[in-house]
């Protein structure tokens, strides 16, 4: 089983991003489970979403405490070291950032970054002060992990994102091409 934890802020689309990625992976024949965890439900508050992927039906119903991969939609969240808690060795940490953060101390993991905020602004997803970065980050995640194809991500976006589906799919493709990783 592959377990993915999304960390973002209210309004960035972490919950919808988890659902859209689940739909893309399901379309490729895997079993999936996607669900959120909310604290204070307001714009800007920290939000966590979870996604499980497996070849077999998934019976677990708890939060993900030891993720294989992390997707971080807001780069200010990396200052909270608890978001890295339980991260399995060898997994990916994907961060929405213009450059690789220098204050990360993540050993035994792979790190990637993509400027999903700029991609979202260029595609008019949200606004300059509050871009909606979820679809862009999904394109980058598909590239670094190979967990599903960019075509499946874009098809899922067009089915599951009610506002600006073409722009969101374009953002995913742009981030797919623009992600930086070692």
- What are the structural domains of the chain? 2-181 (3.40.920.10)
Q: Answer whether residue 118 shows pLDDT above 90.
A: yes
Q: Report the C-alpha gap between 12 and 2 in whole angstroms.
A: 23
Q: Answer whether residue 38 shows pLDDT above 70.
A: no
Token pair, residue 136, equals 């862009």
Using CB atoms within 10 A of its CB, is residue 133 exposed (0-12), middle (13-18) or buried (19+)?
buried
Helix (H, G, I), strand (E, B) or coil at 2: strand
What mean pLDDT value characterizes the chain?
92
Q: What is the number of other CB atoms lying within 10 angstroms of the CB of residue 100? A: 13
Helix (H, G, I), strand (E, B) or coil at 83: helix
Average pLDDT over residues 118-141: 95
Write the pLDDT tens digit of every residue in 61-74. 899 999 999 999 99
Q: Among the listed ranges 62-71, 97-106, 122-131, which one has the minimum average pLDDT value? A: 97-106
Q: Which residue has the tokens 């999936």?
A: 32
Alpha-carbon torsion (49, 53, 59, 60), positive or negative: negative
């Amino acid at each position: 089983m592959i377990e993915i934890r999304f960390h973002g802020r209210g309004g960035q689309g972490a919950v919808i991003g988890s659902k859209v990625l689940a739909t893309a992976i399901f379309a490729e024949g895997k079993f999936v489970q996607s669900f959120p965890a909310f604290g204070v439900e307001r714009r800007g508050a920290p939000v966590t979403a979870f996604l499980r992927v497996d070849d077999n039906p998934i019976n677990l119903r708890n939060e993900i405490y030891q993720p294989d991969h992390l997707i971080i939609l807001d780069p200010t969240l990396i200052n909270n070291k608890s978001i890295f808690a339980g991260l399995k060795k060898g997994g990916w940490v994907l961060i929405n950032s213009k450059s690789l953060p220098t204050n990360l101390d993540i050993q035994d993991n792979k790190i990637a970054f993509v400027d999903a905020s700029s991609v979202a602004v260029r595609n008019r997803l949200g606004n300059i002060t509050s871009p909606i970065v979820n679809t862009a980050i999904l394109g980058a995640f598909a590239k670094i992990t190979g967990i599903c194809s960019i075509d499946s991500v874009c098809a899922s976006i067009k089915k599951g994102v009610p506002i600006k589906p073409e722009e969101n799919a374009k953002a995913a493709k742009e981030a797919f091409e623009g992600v930086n990783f070692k």
